[in-house]
Amino acid sequence: ETHRALEMYRACAEDDLALPVIAGEKPENERFPGAVETWSIEAMMQDGKALQAGTSHYLGTNFAHAAGIQFQDREGAQQFCHTTSWGVSTRLIGGVIMTHGDDDGLRVPPAIAPQQIVIIPMLREAPEDAELLAYCEGVRAALAGQSTLGERVRVILDKKPGKAATKRWDWVRKGAPVIIEVGPRDMAEGKLAVLRRDQLWNAENGKPAFTYPAHEEFVGRAGALLETIQTALYEEARTRRDANIRRDVADWAEVVSHFENSGKYPGWVEVEWAKPTGAVLDAVVEKLKAMKLTIRNVPRGGEAAGGTCIFTGAPATERILIARAY
């Protein structure tokens, strides 16, 4: 049950939020009070800090003894229940913002975007507006009939008064995955001006990177485009995370050097340790605390240890992630 809940959170983070995480067991000093085991999913923000994005705890029978939670087994005897506790919080919202946001605002993964596609007609407060609105409504209806990521496409026609450029930047800041602008000329040519939020700028001219597909062509591939954006956001974050985890640190002096000399965003290090307990673990925690560091978790399914513990010099038993964290 503990691992099932952890996997539920991992899948939500990665599949829905496009938030790459590392699942693993917390060390003894990071366990939930009274738990036998605590497991977490850890995400890296753009500043290299770790965010504990969810936890799942195996409580054994400790809480059952305290609360008198029992059941009758097949032989009729009373047994104490093995219990679990797990949860995520609104910090996941912050995680999405800090992982995907850029200098222009939010970038919301299509799987969770309230509006996946926004259509902005270029209205001029003229009689021709009625025809343009009718055309845009047709585009909206056609897109709403498409599917993506297991659901119908969520699309809105923004009829609010105001300049199209102003409304566009409102939606850019809100992180809408795809923004479409439609003017009289686009309508006459049967085209759409399409802007991907994850590929906002044209690197060559510094202007918004609009493309101009035919109306029918875009409608036919809109669902696939949203899936592409979902994957692109995940892969961008995963690549950035993996590029900022050092795995070649062999001793404590290297850990200190890395976090003191790697600039403002030092990322994480993965090191080997002997899983100390008691007073030895307390000394390790104090050493880390002096550097404003914490042990995040022991990555599930990670590489086996084969060297010595960077803290004690004893034979290492597992690999741990060390980072500064929120």
66-75: pLDDT as tens digits: 999 999 999 9
Global pTM reads 0.94
32 backbone dihedrals φ, ψ, rounded to 5°: -60, 135
Work out the average pLDDT over 6-12: 97
Residue of 323, 296, 245 lying closest to 29 (CA atoms):
296
In this predicted structure, the answer to whether residue 127 has a pLDDT above a threshold of 90 is: no
C-beta contacts of 186-195 below 8 A and 24+ residues apart? 186/212, 187/131, 187/132, 187/135, 190/214, 190/215, 190/216, 191/215, 192/139, 192/218, 194/218, 195/168
Q: pLDDT tier at 125 (50, 70, 90 boundaries)?
A: confident
Q: What angle do CA 219, 224, 225 make, to 5 degrees?
A: 80
Work out the average pLDDT over 18-40: 96
In this predicted structure, the answer to whether residue 241 has a pLDDT above a threshold of 90 is: yes
Judge whether 111 and 131 are in contact, CB under 8 Å: no
Q: Which domains are seen in the chain, by residue range?
A: 2-100+244-323 (3.30.110.30), 117-240 (3.40.50.800)
Q: Helical H runs in 12-123?
A: 62-67, 91-100
